[in-house]
Amino acid sequence: MHSTHPDRKAPPSRIRLAVRLALVALVSVVGAGFGASACLNRPLCDKDCRPRTTNIFVDQIVQKAVDKIDLLFMVDNSISMADKQQVLKAAVPDLVQRLVSPNCVDPKSGTANKQATPQDPQTQCPAPLVREFTPIRNIHIGIITSSIGGHGTGPAVNTNLCVGDESKLDKQQENDHGWLMGKRSRFMVPAGNTTVNTQGFLDWNPDVNKGESVGAFNAAFQAMTVATGEFGCGLESQLESIYRFLVDPSPYDHIVTQNCGGSTEQCAVPTGKDMNLLAQRQAFLRGDSLVAVIMVTDENDCSIRESGQYFYAARDNIAATSAMPPSRQGAPRTPRARWRSPWARIRRTSGASIRSSASASIFSIRRSAT
């Protein structure tokens, strides 16, 4: 939620350090993937080896190198994030350059020599230096925001908190539905030969997209970053937004409120299926890629379970707990059961966060067996 203590906001220098550490961690994850192969080794039996039938199939998947990356940014777009978004915008060229044209390093010590690193990724490093890893020539980059609406709040429950309005660009920021920024009308594609996929993400693939340039790609990436805005929902749902885009098997289309069973109290009911989001996910994710998530925010997560009466924690017209229905009194303000279990299954491979309200974290999901 919006901080009531502006003086506690982390300064740009601190979020800049957090972003830098997260981006370094991403490059480290990519580099570690080279030369690594699957380590799955499970014998069919140990003592009792009698033949039997089973519906469980185990196979070894070998992926010796990372040659595709699906990179998802979750950018907090609530008030106070404009300066942090500018920091991320400034860091974009370095991030892209490190991936598409890795540093030249000493093969023995691993020490980088940036001055000797050619700009052209096709150019060899001067001997005896070698590339830190093989340049990545197939990258998907997408941006989502922390705003996914009011979780059931609306006129039916006497509040319009984070309802959103697609016809107004500033109000649109209150509910981005978990969609990729390239599909939002407030993002304008900058001039340049840059491939923005029809499903809303950037597609770096110079072998297929002839004439694609790093400069134009960076410009589009930066434009997406600042298009997130800072008039989003104050109920920052960073983790729910990531879960919704990457994992949720049946993301709802919208939420309606209706009487709870056997009661006149209002309950939130997720309704329909968001086919737009599913199409974006299907186009963005590849089955043989490294998936990495970078989260840039200056607030704690406020994800709320989107069903029942959990939305009462989000209402802006409740003066005290006693104003809640009896069934919700004493309940936690930010129930997180929805995302805690799914994210517990995703191993945090590498990351960096600053002990304050500003953080930039990275998660990676390997699709090969390890």
Contact 100, 214 (CB under 8 A): yes
In residues, how long is the chain?
Answer: 370
Nearest to 308 by CA among 259, 240, 251, 236: 259
- Angle, to 10 degrees, between the axis of helix 275-284 and the axis of helix 238-246? 80
Cα–Cα–Cα angle for 40, 44, 47, nearest 5°? 125
Question: DSSP 3-state assignment of 149?
Answer: coil
Residue 27: per-residue pLDDT: 60
Q: For residue 105, what are the β-bridge partners? A: 112, 130
DSSP secondary structure of 278-293? HHHHHHH--TTSEEEE
Residue 368: per-residue pLDDT: 38
Which phi and psi (to 5°) does residue 364 adopt? -130, 145
Instruction: Give the DSSP H or E segment for 88.
Output: helix 82-100
In this predicted model, what pLDDT tens digit does every residue of 112-157 receive, in sequence order? 999 999 888 889 999 999 999 889 999 999 999 999 887 777 655 5
**Residue 46 has what DSSP assignment?**
S
Q: Quote the longest CA-to-CA distance of the chain.
A: 77
d(CA 187, CA 200): 10
Per-residue pLDDT of the chain (370 residues; tens, 9 = 90+): 444 444 455 565 666 666 666 666 666 656 555 544 333 344 445 556 565 555 566 665 565 678 899 999 999 999 889 999 999 999 998 889 889 989 999 999 989 999 999 888 889 999 999 999 889 999 999 999 999 887 777 655 545 567 777 777 778 898 999 999 999 999 988 877 677 899 999 999 999 988 888 889 999 999 999 999 999 988 899 999 999 999 999 999 988 888 888 888 888 889 999 999 999 999 999 999 999 999 999 888 888 888 888 877 766 555 444 444 555 444 444 434 443 333 333 333 333 332 333 455 555 444 433 3
Contact 116, 125 (CB under 8 A): yes
CA distance readout (Å), 162 to 129, 212, 325: 53, 38, 21
Residue 58 CB neighbours (<10 A)? 9
Buried b (16+ CB within 10 A) or exposed e, 35-45: eeeeeeeeeee
Question: Is 0.75 surpassed by the pTM of this model?
Answer: no
DSSP secondary structure of 248-306? -SS--SEEEEEEPTTSSSEEEEEES--HHHHHHHHHH--TTSEEEEEEEESS-------
Residue 339: per-residue pLDDT: 39
Residue 256: per-residue pLDDT: 85
Tokens 């978004």 identify what position? 85
Nearest to 259 by CA among 267, 247, 251: 267
DSSP secondary structure of 208-243? TSTT--HHHHHHHHHHHHHHT-S-S-SS--HHHHHH
Residue 278: per-residue pLDDT: 97
Residue 163: per-residue pLDDT: 72
d(CA 73, CA 352): 15
DSSP-derived pairing of the beta strands 104-105 and 359-366:
unpaired
Residue 336: per-residue pLDDT: 41
Contact 227, 85 (CB under 8 A): no
Nearest to 364 by CA among 101, 9, 31, 114: 31
The residue type of 237 is S
